[in-house]
Amino acid sequence: MDKIKSPIIYETKYNLNHARQLSEKIANHVPLENQKFLLNYPTVYVINNQLAKSRQSGYTVYVGETNDIQRRTLEHLEVDPEHREDWARLEEEKNAQMYVIGHEHFNKSLTLDIENRLMKYLASVEAVTYLNNRRENAQNDYYPANEMEPIFNKIWRKLHKANPDLFPAQRLLENSALFKASPFNKLTLEQLNARGEILQAVDEALQIGKVRQLVKVTGEAGAGKTVLMSNIFYELSQNPKIEKVAMMVNHVQQEKVYQQIVEKLGMGKTAEVIKAPTFIKNNSPEHPIDVAFVDEAHLLLTQRSQSYNGYGTNELIDIIKRAKVTLVVYDEHQVLQATQIVEDDDRVKLKEFDTTEIPLHNQMRIDANTKTIQWLRNLIDQGIIGAVPFDDKYDLQLFDSPKDMEIAIRQKNEKDGGNGLSRMVATFDWSYSSTPKKNGEGYWEVSEGDWHMPWNLQLKSPAKGHRNVQYKNLAWPEQPHTINEIGSTYTVQGLDLNYVGVEIGPSVKYRDGKIVFDPTASKNKKAVQKRTMHDGKKVSHGEQLLKNELNVLLTRGVHGLYLHAVDPALQAALKKAFKAKK
């Protein structure tokens, strides 16, 4: 791969005069041996316009590929503005630029793949406010698919030198939650099969006029459910047959990610990101929308609350009644509150809907070998702590103190200039309130001995971030100052961290050779409080919900998991398991 040549990138103004002279200008400014790769081969191009000289207003960008760059550029300037408002705006701009990208190995499949990868990266750039494309083109296998990655990296590095504001360092983008949830992610074969099945179910339902169809995608944390959901959400928003799609996200941090996708990709005419109670209130069963999406449907309410009152007793059932097709991702092991438990009578009601269930089996988040994944699943699911397996690519460590663990996490985070997306998290075993303590009383904290750290969402962030982007619009782990806080399930569920340090609190104990859960040691009232069931009985689900909480926290780290347990017996059992590493 080191022998792959550098791409040819030609920068020009994007206007009618330059488009008409494009071939001539390339012939005059590009070495003869490279001209054919821009004029005779397939090319990829990036049209961009900085909306004002001030960086505050950002860029609008278009990425495309073509077999004839001059003809295609003239079409964009002379024909497309008559049919599309976004092209009309670009055509009117005086300072728009275009990068034409060529390579000796480019063929149709490779340029389509490069185009898709550029859209994925550019959609994650803070300075890009609008990406006006209408398709995602990730290719499967082709010749030479194995060259796509190194060629793309060479392209990006050259573009970065030309304009670091529009093309920041790759690592910065790859750490963002938006990048990881992008609809332009290349899908695995399993995801592609699921995607085809889902789109077919939607198409059939809309053609025949069916309503109340349920498509349920299941899989454990890290199975790629959100990426699949994002891809289909974007695909259907571009379908001219679809009038309206709605994405319901029951996790504030993930909601921010979807909102960015809708805004940057111009999906607002067809798509909306909305809270489940608001969707139920604003739509009626008599006039169902085309497709309702629910990411993390296991977080939906299954009983009335202050925000969900006056309708039914199960949000999912009420959503299904208001859509022709409802597409949900669901993981029973990530239910976190008593108000989210699905009762037996509701399970019977849900079976009455026409349901397609699609399981995802592959583990995609944790970049570890199968033995490490199995060790982790045994610990979470069975409470069994076996000998830690040797894994040369996943950083699994036990620390003698939370302070040492915090230092290690900070070091990992600083390796990427303070943007390493590594954070401390903890089980909800220390008091917290969304109401700040009175002046002088400090923060709600996680503490052990003389070590302490403020709980999440308390420290004041700078009013504005890089390029004047407000940090409050980013997910909790992406805000730089949160390295000084410790997260909970409520700030990291559904998100990836590169390295995660988990402070396992006193609600998780080790007794008689197994991990057990003690609701009396938890401060998570929504998990440990008894639920009033539909038959009037009060039932505790605390042990299962605390188990689910640990599951969420232990499955955040992509490259590494750091551990420390407050319970002496659990810490000792973990230390024995790490000493027996094999």
Quick one: DSSP state of residue 455? Answer: B
Q: Which two tokens stand for residue 158?
A: 């050259």
Distances (CA, A) of 526 to 158, 452, 458, 494: 51, 24, 20, 19
The C-alpha atoms of residue 23 and residue 551 are separated, in whole angstroms, by 58
Contact at 8 Å (CB) between 294 and 316?
Answer: yes
Of 213, 215, 469, which Cα lies nearest the Cα of 322?
213
Identify the pLDDT of residue 469: 45
Torsion of CA 61, 113, 178, 187, to 10 degrees: 150
pLDDT per residue rounded down to tens, the chain (582 residues): 568 999 999 999 999 999 999 999 999 999 999 999 999 999 999 999 987 654 446 899 999 999 999 999 999 999 999 988 888 888 888 889 999 999 999 999 999 999 999 999 999 998 999 998 767 677 778 888 899 999 999 999 999 999 999 999 998 898 888 998 999 999 999 999 999 999 998 998 888 888 999 999 998 878 889 999 999 999 999 999 999 999 998 888 889 899 999 999 999 999 999 999 999 999 999 999 999 999 989 999 898 776 777 677 899 999 999 999 999 999 999 999 999 999 999 999 999 998 999 999 887 789 999 999 999 999 999 999 999 999 999 999 999 999 999 999 999 999 866 667 899 999 999 999 989 898 878 999 999 999 999 999 999 876 444 433 456 667 899 888 999 999 999 999 988 999 999 999 999 999 999 999 999 999 999 999 999 998 999 999 999 999 999 999 999 999 999 999 999 999 999 999 999 986
Q: Which two tokens stand for residue 354?
A: 């026409």
Torsion of CA 399, 401, 404, 410, to 10 degrees: 90
Identify the pLDDT of residue 272: 96
Respond yes or no on whether the N-terminal peptide bond of residue 288 is cis (omega within 30° of 0). no
The C-alpha atoms of residue 159 and residue 513 are separated, in whole angstroms, by 56
Of 128, 116, 118, 106, which Cα lies nearest the Cα of 48?
128
What does the chain come to in residues? 582
Query: Kind and range of the H or E element at 459?
Result: none
The C-alpha atoms of residue 167 and residue 527 are separated, in whole angstroms, by 44
Please identify which residue in the block is written with the tokens 């976004």: 86
> How far from the centroid of its chain's Cα atoms is residue 576's Cα?
36
- The reported pTM is 0.88
Contact at 8 Å (CB) between 419 and 175?
Answer: yes
